[in-house]
C-alpha cells in the first residue's frame, strides 16, 4: 500500500475499532490505480461528524454541515467525511439538502465520474460499484448514472470533465460527451473563481491540446470569461505543440496570439492572483522583445530567471521547436553572469552619495542601472574601486537625474 495511505491507516483503524465503516475514497484511489503520485487522501465513513468528534480528541469543524471533519492525529491532519446523499440542487452547484447515511454505495452514487466513485478498504480491497476500474482501463471519463442529471446538479462538472482529459489523456464516454455539449450553457451559473481554478489545472495538463479541442467541439469554450472564448485563438493554439507548456506559459502564449491591447483586463476577468498576473504580463513584454532579438546578458539579468525560462519556452513553442533543455541552458547562462541580482553589486546607494556630492534622488536608481548594465556588458568588473573610477569618468553623472 502507498505510503500516503499507510500514514492515514491508523485513522481508518480507529474508526473501525469504534464500530463504524471507513474507506479511502475519490481521487487518491483513482491515482493509486493509475500509479500516479498521491499527495493526500480523503476518508469516507459511516460515522456522523459528532461520532467522529467522540472518537478523536483533536478535530476541526472544517465543513461539518456537509459532514466533513478535519482529524488531527499524531502530528498529521486528515479529512474525514460522513457518507451522505444530496438532493434539491440550487443554482446548478450546491445541494439544498444533505443527508447523512450509513451506505458506502449510496455515497459513491452521488459522485461525478465513475473513476472517482471507487473506494479502498484498510486491506487494500477496491470497492467499485460503478465499474470505475474498467473505465480507467479503457481511458474513459464517464458520469456516474445519467450524465444529464450529473451536469444539472453541478455544472462545474463540465469543467472537471475536460480538466481530467487534460490531466489523464482520456476520452469522454459517448453519452457524457453528448450531454456535456447539451449543457455547456450551464457554465454561466458557476462562479468565475471556480472555473478559473479548473482552467489552471487544464492548462497545466499534459494533454491540454486534447482538452481545448474538446472545449471547441462541444462549444464549452464560448462560455468562458474571456480570451479562451475566442474560437480562432484556440484553433491557432492547437496548431502548436502546446502540451509542452504549463499554465503561466499558456496564458502568455494565448495573450500573444490574441493581439489584445488590454491584457490586464482579460486576466482580471479570470480572477487570477495579482502575483500571477504580474508574472504573465512581465513575460509577455519580454516575449515581444525576444521575437526579434537574442538574449544578451543584460536582458537575461533584467528579465529574471523565472520570466526568462517562461519566455524562451513560449518562444520555442511558437517556432514549433522542442523545449527539452531550455531550463538547464537558461540556468547555466544565468549562473555565469557576474551578478544575478542587485544585492550582488559591490556598491550601494550610500557609496554613490559619498562619491557624488548631490542630494539623494531618482538619479541614484538610474545610475545603479547603468552600473549593472556596464558590468553585465563586461565594460567593468564588479569591483568597488573600478566602479568608482567608472562613475567618476562619466562626463556628467547628473544626466541620470
Please count the residues of the chain.
401
Q: Residue 393 has what pLDDT?
A: 87
Beta strand spans in 249-317 (E): none
Tell me the C-alpha distance between 12 and 80, whole Å. 9
**194: annotated binding-site residue?**
no
**13: annotated binding-site residue?**
no
Q: Which CATH number fits domain 1-138: 3.30.460.10, 3.40.640.10, 3.30.390.50, 1.10.8.420?
A: 3.30.460.10
**160: annotated binding-site residue?**
yes
Fold observed for domain 343-401: Serum Albumin; Chain A, Domain 1 (1.10.246)
**269: annotated binding-site residue?**
no
**150: annotated binding-site residue?**
no
Fold observed for domain 226-337: Methane Monooxygenase Hydroxylase; Chain G, domain 1 (1.20.58)
- Are the C-beta atoms of 251 and 242 separated by less than 8 Å? no
Taking only the tens of pLDDT, the chain with its 401 residues reads 788 899 999 999 999 999 999 999 999 999 999 999 998 899 999 999 999 999 999 999 988 888 999 999 988 999 999 999 987 677 676 777 888 999 999 999 999 999 999 999 999 999 999 999 999 999 999 999 999 999 999 999 999 999 999 999 999 999 999 999 999 999 999 999 999 999 999 999 999 999 999 999 999 999 999 899 999 999 999 999 999 999 999 999 999 999 888 999 999 999 999 999 999 999 999 999 999 999 999 999 999 999 999 999 999 999 999 998 899 999 999 999 999 999 999 999 999 998 988 888 899 999 999 999 999 999 999 999 999 999 988 745 444 44
* Every domain of the chain and the residues it spans: 1-138, 140-224, 226-337, 343-401
- Are the C-beta atoms of 272 and 196 separated by less than 8 Å? yes
Q: What are phi and psi of 240, to 5 degrees?
A: -110, 160
**137: annotated binding-site residue?**
no
- DSSP states of 302-337: HH-HHHHHHHHHHHHHHTT---TTHHHHHHHHHHTS
CATH node for 140-224: 1.10.110.30
Tell me the C-alpha distance between 172 and 163, whole Å. 11
**304: annotated binding-site residue?**
no
**325: annotated binding-site residue?**
no
Unique residue bearing C-alpha cell 470497492: 127
**157: annotated binding-site residue?**
yes
Q: Write out the three cell numbers for 211.
A: 482538452
**Residues contacting 284, CB < 8 A, separation 6+:** 252, 255, 256, 263
Tell me the C-alpha distance between 249 and 371, whole Å. 32
Exposure of 47 in the CB half-sphere (CA atoms within 13 A): 25
Amino acid at each position: 500500500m502507498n505510503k500516503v495511505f499507510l500514514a492515514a491507516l491508523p485513522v481508518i483503524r480507529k474508526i473501525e475499532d469504534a464500530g463504524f465503516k471507513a474507506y479511502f475514497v475519490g481521487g487518491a484511489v483513482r491515482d493509486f490505480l493509475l500509479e500516479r503520485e498521491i499527495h493526500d487522501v480523503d476518508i469516507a465513513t459511516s460515522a456522523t461528524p459528532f461520532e467522529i468528534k467522540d472518537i478523536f480528541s483533536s478535530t476541526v469543524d472544517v465543513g461539518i454541515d456537509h459532514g466533513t471533519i478535519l482529524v488531527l492525529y499524531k502530528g498529521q491532519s486528515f479529512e474525514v467525511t460522513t457518507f451522505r446523499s444530496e438532493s434539491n440542487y440550487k443554482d446548478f452547484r450546491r445541494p439544498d439538502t444533505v443527508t447523512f447515511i450509513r451506505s458506502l454505495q449510496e455515497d459513491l452514487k452521488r459522485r461525478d465520474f465513475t473513476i472517482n466513485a471507487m473506494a479502498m478498504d484498510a486491506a487494500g480491497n477496491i470497492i467499485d460499484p460503478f465499474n470505475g476500474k474498467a473505465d480507467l482501463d479503457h481511458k474513459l471519463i464517464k458520469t456516474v448514472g445519467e450524465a444529464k442529471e450529473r451536469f444539472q446538479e453541478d455544472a462545474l462538472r463540465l469543467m472537471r470533465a475536460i480538466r481530467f482529459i487534460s490531466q489523464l489523456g482520456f476520452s469522454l464516454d459517448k453519452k457524457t460527451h453528448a450531454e456535456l455539449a447539451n449543457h455547456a450553457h450551464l457554465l454561466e451559473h458557476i462562479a468565475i473563481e471556480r472555473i478559473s481554478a479548473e482552467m489552471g489545472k487544464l492548462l497545466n495538463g499534459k494533454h491540454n491540446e486534447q482538452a481545448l479541442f474538446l472545449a471547441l467541439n462541444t462549444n464549452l469554450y464560448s462560455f468562458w470569461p474571456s480570451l479562451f472564448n475566442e474560437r480562432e485563438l484556440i484553433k491557432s493554439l492547437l496548431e502548436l505543440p502546446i502540451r509542452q507548456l504549463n499554465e503561466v506559459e499558456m496564458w502568455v502564449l494565448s495573450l500573444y496570439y490574441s493581439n489584445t491591447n488590454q491584457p490586464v483586463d482579460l486576466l482580471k476577468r479570470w480572477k487570477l492572483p495579482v502575483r500571477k498576473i504580474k508574472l504573465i504580463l512581465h513575460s509577455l513584454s519580454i516575449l515581444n522583445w525576444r521575437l526579434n532579438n537574442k538574449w544578451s546578458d543584460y536582458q537575461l539579468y533584467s528579465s529574471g530567471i523565472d520570466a526568462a525560462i517562461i519566455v524562451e519556452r513560449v518562444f520555442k513553442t511558437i517556432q514549433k521547436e522542442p523545449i527539452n533543455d531550455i531550463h538547464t541552458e537558461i540556468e547555466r547562462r544565468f549562473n555565469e553572469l557576474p551578478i544575478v541580482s542587485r544585492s550582488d553589486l559591490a556598491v550601494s546607494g550610500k557609496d554613490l552619495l559619498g562619491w557624488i556630492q548631490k542630494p539623494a534622488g531618482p538619479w541614484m536608481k538610474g545610475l545603479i542601472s547603468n552600473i549593472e548594465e556596464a558590468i553585465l556588458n563586461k565594460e567593468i568588473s564588479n569591483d568597488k574601486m573600478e566602479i568608482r573610477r567608472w562613475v567618476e569618468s562619466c562626463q556628467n553623472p547628473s544626466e541620470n537625474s
